[in-house]
Amino acid sequence: MAQQNTTPNQAEPSAVGEYAIECRGVTKRFGTVVANDGVDLTVRYGEILALLGENGSGKTTLMNMLSGIYHPDSGSIRIAGKEAVINSPEDSMALGIGMIYQHFKLVDVFTAMDNIALGTPGRRLPARELRTKVEGICKGVGLTIDPAKRIYEMSVSEKQTVEILKVLYRGQKILILDEPTAVLTPQETDKLFAILRRMREQGCAVIIITHKLGEVLDISDRVTILRRGKYIDTVNTAETDEQQLTELMVGRPVSLEIDRPEQGELNSILKAVDLTIRKPDGAIAVDDVSFEVRTGEILGVAGIAGSGQKELCEAIAGLYPAEKGAVLYRKENLIGKNPREISRLGVHLGFVPEDRLGMGLVASMGMVGNMMLKTYDAPKGPFIDTAPAREQAEELVDKLSIVTPSVDTPVRLMSGGNVQKVLLGREIVSKPSVLITAYPVRGLDINSSYTVYDLLNEQKKDNVAVVYVGEDLDVLMELSDRIMVLCHGKITGIVDARTATKDQIARLMVGGKEEA
């Protein structure tokens, strides 16, 4: 496979470091699906390797084989120069591999120290000794953490730090991180990268799995690219750029420009006034916010995950109670009404929730069943009418080139991109005047993401008021007309996306004041 490279020699590291991991021709099949097809991957001690690929390209499968969850059907894996068979996560740990998953494996009620010591072989160190040791490790890589703090009191970034400490404490020299920046603020990402660089200096081998090109270029020494389970290439980071990486990843030249059509008729259509939302546990989710949504533009919503985006969207859609304030659609207050009452008011509200299969769609039903989710009640009498829904579903399949064996195949069996097309497509078919989308491209491959951007822009051109809640600042800045930034439920600023800078928004995300 490697021989297909156009620049094969550049791909091999020039440094003299020993291979920490050396995978050759690793193949893994699930039934008829080939998840990994002859994949080569090498990483040396003292090197950061980025593993790049779209969703479904086989990154996670490969990592699961390194961590002992799956077994390769063929091919060899060598760890520290020796042939290895990894039968279980225990084996993997013993071989010096530390995995950091997107979902942390920590005991919430334990302290950082307890979590770090948990599951390590041998007798447990006395608390003081343990503390000294942990603090020593922290100092070594420039980490700051209070070893006595309990996990449930920690921020996401602190939890990630604990995970890294766990790896270091066990003396594991190979660190694999699965999409580690997805949950971090830009500042936290920078901090993480600084730590990773320190670890590299100390001779660790690091693999970082990601699909964010900017990060790849920022942190890695080399990049290994997978596409649809196949090994494509390994390139030196210094000798590549975003365009080349995207082409390798997607398999054809892709324009990375996101269109931003001119704004349409700007009429205020939805107005939030002094809106305050409290979660069931009493915490404030949205804190006294006021803003307006206008037709013919895309309002981007930026913010660290959990800053109140979800509650805000759901409150507007009639799915979450508000404590105070109003959401006015023309003259009607939507707060206190359920979705059906809202739609009876003549409000055409489209909503693409964050949880697509758990809220926006019925996972076990096919497209037909899902198309009528909001309209099943329309025909008179006790019976449902599937004929129009079937027609709509078939139209949608054609229009958005949705890949599905049939319109009756349960949507949970469809790929993430196709699921989102069904959901977004249905909301658009209902001809909304306001379209709220929460993280609509999360987990989607580049092609699907661009389909989504195009669809949203089309809506904007049709004078629909579009709300786009996103996590990727680059996308937000290219797609939106205005960006509203949330921090701890408060609006810290609403900026013009055409003129704002990334730094400015990043500052607002962590509560900085908007600078005039």
Partner 1 sequence: MLRVIKTEEKTAKQMMIIRLAAFVLALAAGGLFILALGVNPLKVYGTILSGAFRSKMAVQATIKVMIPMLVAALGVTLAFKMKFWNIGGEGQIIMGAVFATYFALYHADWPFFILFPVMLIAGIVGGGLWALIPALCKVRFGTNETLFTLMLNYIALYLVAYLQEGPWRDPAANGFPKIPSFAASATLPKVLGVQMGWIVALVLTVIVFVYMRYTKHGYEISVVGQSQATAAYAGMNVSRIVLRTMFLSGAVAGICGMLQVSGSDKTLTTGVAGGIGFTAIIIAWLAQLNPFGSLVVAFLFAILEKGSSVVQSDFGLSTDCADVLQGIILFFVLGCEFFIRYRFVRDNARKAAAVKGGEG
- Closer Cβ to partner 1, 347 or 508, answer by number: 347
Closest approach of partner 1 to the CB of residue 377, in Å:
6
Assess 74 for contact with partner 1 (CB under 8 A): no
Closest approach of partner 1 to the CB of residue 318, in Å:
8
Q: Which of residues 299-318 bind partner 1 (CB under 8 A)?
A: 317-318
* Residue 103 DSSP one-character state: S
Q: Which of residues 210-249 bind partner 1 (CB under 8 A)?
A: none
Assess 84 for contact with partner 1 (CB under 8 A): yes
Q: Which of 56, 296, 325, 353 binds partner 1 (CB under 8 A)?
A: 353
- Closer Cβ to partner 1, 284 or 319, answer by number: 319
Closest approach of partner 1 to the CB of residue 160, in Å:
28
> Which residues does 297 contact at the CB level (< 8 Å), separation at least 6?
263, 264, 266, 460, 465, 466, 481, 482
- Closer Cβ to partner 1, 84 or 134, answer by number: 84
Q: How far apart are CA 142 and CA 136, in angstroms?
A: 10
Strands (E), 31-66: 33-44, 47-52
Closest approach of partner 1 to the CB of residue 245, in Å:
32
Assess 405 for contact with partner 1 (CB under 8 A): no
Closest approach of partner 1 to the CB of residue 174, in Å:
13
Q: Which of 105, 139, 324, 340 binds partner 1 (CB under 8 A)?
A: 340
Q: Which of residues 315-334 bind partner 1 (CB under 8 A)?
A: 317-319
Assess 431 for contact with partner 1 (CB under 8 A): no
Q: How far apart are CA 445 and CA 402, in angstroms?
A: 14
Element (H, E) at 175: strand 174-178
Closest approach of partner 1 to the CB of residue 292, in Å:
24
Closest approach of partner 1 to the CB of residue 343, in Å:
7
Assess 180 for contact with partner 1 (CB under 8 A): no
- Closer Cβ to partner 1, 212 or 337, answer by number: 337
Contact 479, 260 (CB under 8 A): yes
Instruction: Write phi, then psi, for 138 (nearest 5 degrees).
Output: -55, -50
Assess 494 for contact with partner 1 (CB under 8 A): no
Residues 2-41: x where in contact with partner 1 by CB under 8 A, - otherwise, as a string: ----------------------------xxxx--------
Question: Which stretch, 185-193, 339-347, 391-399, 498-506, contacts partner 1 (CB under 8 A)?
Answer: 339-347
Report the 10 Å Cβ neighbour count for 27: 15
Assess 489 for contact with partner 1 (CB under 8 A): no
Going by C-alpha positions, the residue among 493, 427, 499, 440 that lies closest to residue 469 is 440
Residues 356-385: x where in contact with partner 1 by CB under 8 A, - otherwise, as a string: -xxxxxxxxx---x--xxx-xx----xxx-
Closest approach of partner 1 to the CB of residue 324, in Å:
22
Q: Which two tokens stand for residue 332?
A: 């009607």
The amino acid that residue 58 corresponds to is G
- What is the DSSP secondary-structure string of 395-463? HHHHHTT---S-TTS-GGGS-HHHHHHHHHHHHHHT--SEEEEESTTTT--HHHHHHHHHHHHHHHHTT
Q: Which two tokens stand for residue 28?
A: 């893994």
- Closer Cβ to partner 1, 38 or 339, answer by number: 339
Element (H, E) at 268: strand 268-278
Tokens 């400490």 -> residue:
165
Q: Which of 1, 24, 55, 91 binds partner 1 (CB under 8 A)?
A: 91
Contact 173, 21 (CB under 8 A): no
Measured torsion, CA atoms of residues 88, 93, 97, 102, in degrees rounded to the nearest 10 = 70
Going by C-alpha positions, the residue among 239, 183, 180, 248 that lies closest to residue 215 is 180
Q: How far apart are CA 92 and CA 86, in angstroms?
A: 6
Assess 425 for contact with partner 1 (CB under 8 A): no
- Closer Cβ to partner 1, 208 or 424, answer by number: 424
Q: How far apart are CA 243 and CA 259, in angstroms?
A: 17
Going by C-alpha positions, the residue among 151, 500, 456, 466 that lies closest to residue 293 is 466
Q: How many residues bind partner 1 (CB under 8 A)?
A: 45
Assess 124 for contact with partner 1 (CB under 8 A): no
> Which residues does 205 contact at the CB level (< 8 Å), separation at least 6?
20, 21, 43, 44, 45, 46, 47, 49, 173, 174, 175
- Closer Cβ to partner 1, 371 or 444, answer by number: 371
Q: How far apart are CA 7 and CA 63, in angstroms?
A: 26
Assess 429 for contact with partner 1 (CB under 8 A): no
Q: Which of 8, 18, 85, 267 binds partner 1 (CB under 8 A)?
A: 85
Interface ranges with partner 1 (CB under 8 A): 30-33, 71, 79, 82-87, 91, 94-95, 317-319, 338-341, 343, 351, 353, 355, 357-365, 369, 372-374, 376-377, 382-384, 413
